[in-house]
């Protein structure tokens, strides 16, 4: 999915299918930012696990917020890797089947040239009878 944005000093769109996700945090404020890595970290969400703006609360939950951000990023990146592998396998399977079909067609053409149509049709009738 292509995301359009209006982030200052960042050109181009963000392709979520190819960009990796990372997290970076600010311990002082107890927040963790989720970022797309596209040459630079483009922040799009903050994780904040405290409701007050007190430093002691921010420090108390920062480790958990960072672990949550890292887990979200790990799962995002893992999902993109799995989806990419599935797509490559599908492309390979289609290519393999196309190759097999082309080879079968070529074999039929060569058999027709070598034996003539009558022999080929006779062989196919025999194969049909054997399978029945």
When divided into structural domains, the chain yields a total of: 1
Going by pLDDT thresholds of 50, 70 and 90, the confidence category of residue 127 is confident
pLDDT exceeds cutoff 80 at 96 = no
pTM for the model stands at: 0.57
Q: What is the CA radius of gyration of the chain?
A: 29
The strand order across the sheet containing 31-37 reads 20-26, 31-37, 41-48
Strands of 5-132, DSSP E: 14-15, 20-26, 31-37, 41-48
pLDDT for the residue 72 = 92
- Give me the mean pLDDT over the 57-68 stretch: 89
Q: Which domain holds residue 92?
A: 2-131
- Give me the mean pLDDT over the 93-98 stretch: 74
Structure tokens at 118: 């009558």
Least confident residue range of 1-5, 22-26, 59-63: 1-5
């Amino acid at each position: 999915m292509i995301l359009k944005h209006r982030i200052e000093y960042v050109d181009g769109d963000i392709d979520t299918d190819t960009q990796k996700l990372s997290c970076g945090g600010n311990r002082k404020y107890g927040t963790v930012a989720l970022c797309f890595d596209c040459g630079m970290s483009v922040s799009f969400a903050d994780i904040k696990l405290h409701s007050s703006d007190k430093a002691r609360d921010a420090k108390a939950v920062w480790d958990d917020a960072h672990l949550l951000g890292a887990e979200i990023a790990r799962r995002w990146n893992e999902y993109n890797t799995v989806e990419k592998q599935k797509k490559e396998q599908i492309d390979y399977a289609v290519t393999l089947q196309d190759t097999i079909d082309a080879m079968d067609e070529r074999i039929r053409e060569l058999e027709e040239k070598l034996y003539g149509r009558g022999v080929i049709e006779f062989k196919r009738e025999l194969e049909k009878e054997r399978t029945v």
